[in-house]
Amino acid sequence: MNTARSFNWSLLTPFMTWLPQVGRQDIKADLVAALTGAIVVLPQGVAFATIAGMPPEYGLYAGMIPAIIAALFGSSRHLVSGPTTAASVVLFSSLSLLAIPGTPEYVTLALTLTFMVGVLELALGFARMGALVNFISHSVVVGFTAGAAVLIAAKQLKHFFGVEMDSSGHLHDILISFGQHVLEINPSATLVAAATLALGIACKLWLPRVPYMIVAMLGGSLLAVGLDAVFGAEATGIATVGALPAALPPLSAPSLTFDHIRHLAPSALAVTLFALTEAVSIGRALGARGGYRIDGNQEFIGQGLSNIAGSFFSGYVATGSFNRSGVNYEAGARTPLASIFAAFMLMAIVLLVAPYASYLPKAAMAGILFLVAWGLIDRAEIKHILHSSKRETSVLAVTFFSAIFLELEFAIFAGVLLSLVLYLERTSKPKIHTIAPNPHLPNQAFSSEPGLPECPQLRFMRIDGSVFFGSAPHVEQYFDRLRAEHPEQKHVALFSNGINFVDLQGGLVLSREMQRRRADGGDMYLINVKQGLWEALEGCGCLDERGSRNIFQSKTAAVRAIYQKLDKSICATCDKRIFWECKGNK
């Protein structure tokens, strides 16, 4: 009973928070945006299915039921879910080693992987693990996307140039295979692909409001039809996609055998992490532009339910789409109804135009995908990362090269692992400063400026960072070096407001340093101690009665108390007069 009462049932009905508030003007704006979205997803669905190694119609199916479910159960007003480039590339990379792309066995594996991804996303959402995506840094996303873009272009070389070659494997395998078939290039197919690419670029540059994919595909298709009419289809050898079934998504079922689950589990985890990162990142960006916040956990649930449903309606892995979500926002969408309307419009369009897909050349699709790949590479952000941080540059490079030379799903794990290693390396060496009163600042405020006069018996320090098991050796080595190089400074006062966290081992390091200082005739004192640090020191038993008297909440009180413990014979011969208390010691 208590569990049932404590469960937040609104997680399963998030649409009830916005649906009753939808007005007539909202519906009108959403319908206009939906029409644009439906037109955009038509060529993208076919293109992304090609990338994924799926029959073309499955890319369209992935933009239907999954988009509706994600809109109803997510938290973003503008996020559009469906097939995406990155998810398609990861899917192909994961499954092409297990089955031949396009075959029934391959499709079954794709549906099974989609179901597993949905279950993982749903479980993470209910477990309130929305912050998990924060472990995938921006540099990992940029590097992975750039690597995926290179692979997309490489895998389309066979269609762009009309050659029969093996496009599976890693980048170097594809390039070697292409080099072996370079003399078999089909001029007609290459002309169609190049013309499609050029038309798409021209559209993006000079007619940005026109759906460039549709215009480019139409142009490429008309050119192919013209070449076939003039020279004959056998002479040109231009391969086409083939007719799409004019039908709604058929029912399907994943194959949840032990072997399938065992083989697909690593890929499912990788796809889940990246898909959720993609969806939540897009949702947050659009929410910031639209003046609202999204719930990461709710978005996990929405994405999970959409993929579970998609696996039973012939849809492969769906997630938030960068370009379709942007189009949806720019087209004036106000509520998630725009995504729902777009999915229903897509169904109607498929029923009407599916037979005409037989005229769509694979070379034209390759030209479009070259353009998609180029757009995926965030050149400005890559340049920014390269110039701003060596650490982030290394994360970007490792993720990128892992994507193109190793398994694509491994690239995500490699990038995340390196990010965590670099983070731990940085936190294991907190900055430790020597500080002293600066006579040039008001009230002789303390600063770390080099060359400031110091008390010959007392050193002031500041630690910025955490003192935990990972950084304890670094802090302890600093203390040891300080005692060896400055034995005359038997007293140390540590400004502690820069310490974020102390664990048991960190507390023991501070406690042992106090004991060593006392054994040498001095002591260590803590100034500006945060409540968390005080509790940590008490909790680990690092503060005895004497130690607790060495904690001060202000530097004035600390200096006044510590001054009484200094060797007055040394003070009598000291000419530095650093503290106010020194003025009276003449």
Tell me: the pLDDT tens digits for 265-299?
988 988 888 788 778 877 776 776 677 777 888 88
pLDDT category at 1 given cuts 50, 70, 90 is very low
Looking at the structure, tell me whether residues 443 and 416 fall in a common domain: no
Instruction: Decide if 7 is inside a domain.
Output: no
Looking at the structure, tell me whether residues 349 and 439 fall in a common domain: no
What CATH number corresponds to the domain at position 558? 3.30.750.24
Q: Is the dihedral of CA 195, 201, 206, 210 positive or negative?
A: positive
Alpha helices in 336-443 (DSSP H): 337-353, 362-376, 379-388, 390-405, 408-427
Among 402, 421, 440, where does a domain finish?
Answer: 421
pLDDT category at 198 given cuts 50, 70, 90 is very high
Among 366, 388, 421, where does a domain finish?
Answer: 421
Looking at the structure, tell me whether residues 134 and 243 fall in a common domain: yes
Residue 373's pLDDT is what?
Answer: 81
Instruction: Decide if 78 is inside a domain.
Output: yes
Statement: residue 263 has pLDDT above 50: yes
Range of the domain at 477: 431-584
Instruction: Decide if 88 is inside a domain.
Output: yes
Statement: residue 111 has pLDDT above 80: yes
What are the C-alpha distances in Å from 135 to residues 108, 131, 401, 423?
31, 8, 20, 11
Among 388, 421, 454, where does a domain finish?
Answer: 421
Cα torsion 567, 571, 573, 575 to 10°: value is 150
Instruction: Decide if 184 is inside a domain.
Output: yes
Looking at the structure, tell me whether residues 34 and 82 fall in a common domain: yes
DSSP per-residue letters across 242-267: -PPP-SPPPP------HHHHHHHHHH
Residue 548's pLDDT is what?
Answer: 63
What are the C-alpha distances in Å from 295 to residues 13, 129, 283?
13, 11, 9
Query: What average pLDDT does the chain have?
Result: 84
d(CA 523, CA 514): 6
Instruction: Decide if 55 is inside a domain.
Output: yes
Looking at the structure, tell me whether residues 135 and 181 fall in a common domain: yes
Looking at the structure, tell me whether residues 397 and 459 fall in a common domain: no
SS3 letters across 500-540: EEECHHHHHHHHHHHHHHHHCCCEEEEECCCHHHHHHHHHC
Instruction: Decide if 448 is inside a domain.
Output: yes
For residue 27, the tally of other CB atoms under 10 A from its CB is 16
The stretch 167-183 carries a mean pLDDT of 85
Instruction: Decide if 564 is inside a domain.
Output: yes
The stretch 40-68 carries a mean pLDDT of 88
Please tell me the total count of domains within the chain.
Answer: 2
Statement: residue 181 has pLDDT above 50: yes
Looking at the structure, tell me whether residues 58 and 201 fall in a common domain: yes
CB of 499 closer than 8 Å to CB of 463: yes
d(CA 421, CA 548): 36
Residue 54's pLDDT is what?
Answer: 93
Higher pLDDT, 547 or 318: 318
Cα angle: 80, vertex 83, 85; to 5 degrees: 110
Q: Which of 5-9, 190-194, 243-247, 437-441 has the lowest mean pLDDT?
A: 5-9
Higher pLDDT, 145 or 545: 145
Looking at the structure, tell me whether residues 338 and 230 fall in a common domain: yes
Statement: residue 5 has pLDDT above 60: no
Looking at the structure, tell me whether residues 394 and 440 fall in a common domain: no
Statement: residue 499 has pLDDT above 90: no
Statement: residue 330 has pLDDT above 80: no
The stretch 341-356 carries a mean pLDDT of 86
Residue 546's pLDDT is what?
Answer: 52
Looking at the structure, tell me whether residues 149 and 273 fall in a common domain: yes
Instruction: Decide if 18 is inside a domain.
Output: no
Statement: residue 62 has pLDDT above 90: yes
Looking at the structure, tell me whether residues 345 and 472 fall in a common domain: no
Most confidently modeled of 270-284, 327-341, 441-455, 460-474? 460-474
Residue 115's pLDDT is what?
Answer: 97
Cα 157 to the center of its chain, rounded Å: 29
pLDDT category at 304 given cuts 50, 70, 90 is very high
pLDDT category at 20 given cuts 50, 70, 90 is confident
Looking at the structure, tell me whether residues 502 and 531 fall in a common domain: yes
